[in-house]
Amino acid sequence: MKNGYLILETGEIFTGEWLGSEIETSGELVFNTSMTGYQEMMTDPSYKGQILAFTYPMIGNYGWNNVDDESSSPAVEAVLLNEACGSPNHYQSEGSMEDYLCKNGIPGLAGIDTRALVKKIRQLKTLRAKITMNPDATVFNVPLVTSKESLVRSVSVKGYQYYGDKNDPHVVLMDYGYKSSILNALLEEGCRVTVAPYTTTFEEVERLSPDGVLFSNGPGDPLDLKTYFPEILKISKEYSSLGICLGHQLIALAYGGNSEKMLFGHRGSNHPVKHLPTGKVSMSSQNHGYVVTSESIDTSLFEPLFINVNDKSIEGIQHRTLPVKGVQFHPEAHPGPSDTHFIFKDFVRSLTTGGRMLCQQTI
């Protein structure tokens, strides 16, 4: 195999074996601690613009398949791993990790000391890096996008997409880079879904006549979308609303909250979150680099719904008078535990009752 090099913006160089498509790229360097679900991670649009390091030592054990993609193609810019399994074993497997990366035009490096790399990221915070075959290539590529909003623009649908039966409760899924498992969760709960571009206005939502609106996950800084805060505010005041990950942040900011970049984010499938109404702790799947600051939340409008057990960051909010809530984690999981799937059920109930759902059930 050819040698490849991961060059950090601080100057450190990690050497590995080139894997996948032979193209050089750069992006924000992040890591995920999940033990399984590498295909779902690579196809999660929230990873657009990022180089993903897997902390689990061997990746590719069960190959890749035709059912686990979270979008039509991988969104991640490149992947880093310690060991790539060349002979996967699973009844649904269509090939190896190497096959998948080559098929989808994604570069990667194997043989990377991911433990040392993650320690470096934790020391230096999230930083930019590049993958190259030239160890002397210290000049970073031109940024992958011409503006920060382009991250969302590059993964959002360009027109409406329709799913489900016309007689079912109707949800508009605002697409900032939604995962297919979110759509599937809504369909499994008996909803009709219209996937709409992230630029969809309040008036356009009105013409779609939904029973509720779900603001999806997606890549980047929520402040990059501040142009759309007034529309998000109007939509959520009129319709039962649920925000997931980036969508949660957008709801909070539309109502006057603030966000900040985390040291190195929450990315993994074992993050404990405490449900404040019941005191129950659930394990959650997470993938975000920004967080809503707790002190910025207007407590006359919102009450906290979940907090992170590890760092006490806000993981969910509930409007005090409107059927509007947001969660920072992914209740649909994929990959990860389904402990908090009840959030979808609660949201769907709010579509038919028109009332405020407090998630007060035992979980």
Alpha-carbon gap, residue 134 to 113, rounded angstroms: 19
Find the catalytic residue in 245, 248, 334, 359.
245
Q: What is the CATH number of the domain that holds 118?
A: 3.50.30.20
Query: Is 107 inside a domain boundary?
Result: yes
- pLDDT for res 35: 93
Say if residue 167's pLDDT is above 50.
yes
Q: 109: annotated binding-site residue?
A: no
**pLDDT digits 0-9 by tens, 73-124:** 999 999 999 999 999 999 999 999 999 999 999 999 999 999 999 999 998 8
DSSP 8-state class, residue 48: B
Is the model's pLDDT at 148 over the cut of 70?
A: no
Number of structural domains (the chain) is 2
Tell me whether residue 143 is in a domain. no
Q: Are residues 271 and 154 both part of a single domain?
A: yes
pLDDT, one tens digit per residue, over 276-327 is 999 999 999 999 999 999 999 999 999 999 999 999 999 999 999 999 999 9
Mean pLDDT of 13-37: 95
Shared domain check, 181 and 116? no
Domain of residue 247: give its range. Answer: 149-353
Nearest to 226 by CA among 262, 198, 196: 198
Residue 43 lies in a domain: yes
Strand order in the sheet with 212-215: 161-163, 192-197, 170-175, 212-215, 240-244, 324-327, 314-319, 302-308, 259-275, 280-292
Structure-derived torsion over alpha carbons of residues 157, 159, 165, 168, reported in degrees to the nearest 10: 80
Is the model's pLDDT at 361 over the cut of 70? no
From residue 229, alpha-carbon distances to 102, 223, 254 in Å are 39, 9, 5
Residues 334 and 212 in one domain: yes
290 among annotated binding-site residues: yes
Whether 14 and 48 share a structural domain: yes
Catalytic residue among 191, 275, 332, 334: 332
Residue 243 annotated in ligand binding = no
CATH of the domain at 293: 3.40.50.880
CA 215, CA 243: separation in Å to the nearest integer?
5
Annotation marks residue 359 as catalytic: no
What's this model's pTM, rounded to 2 decimal places?
0.93
Pairwise CA distance, residues 167 & 219, whole Å: 33
Does the annotation flag 249 for ligand binding?
A: yes
- Give Cβ neighbours of residue 39 (< 8 Å, ≥ 6 apart): 64, 65, 68, 69, 100
| Residue 146 reports pLDDT greater than 60 | no
Average pLDDT (246-257) is: 98
The catalytic residue among 191, 330, 334, 359 is 330
State how far the Cα of 22 lies from the Cα of 134, in Å rounded to an integer.
12
In a domain, 258, yes or no: yes
Kindly state whether residue 9 falls inside one of the protein's structural domains: yes
The answer as to whether 278 is a domain residue is yes
Question: Are 10 and 113 found together in one domain?
Answer: yes
Chain centre to alpha carbon of residue 13: 28
**pLDDT average, residue stretch 244-265:** 96
Active site residue 334: no
Predicted pLDDT at 56: 96
- Average pLDDT, rounded, for the chain: 92
262 part of a folded domain: yes
Q: Are residues 292 and 153 in the same domain?
A: yes
Helix (H, G, I), strand (E, B) or coil at 254: helix
Is 134 annotated among the ligand-binding residues? no
Whether 249 and 294 share a structural domain:
yes
Higher per-residue pLDDT: 120 or 359: 120
287 is in an annotated binding site: yes
Which pLDDT band holds residue 354 (cuts at 50, 70, 90)?
low
Same domain, 230 and 258: yes
Crossing angle, helix 342-353 and helix 180-188, to 10 degrees?
60
| Confidence (pLDDT) at 185 | 96
Domain boundary among 82, 105, 132: 132
Q: Which residues of 162-183 are buried (b: 16+ CB within 10 A; e: fewer)?
A: ebbeeebbbbbbbbbbbbbbbb
271 is catalytic: no
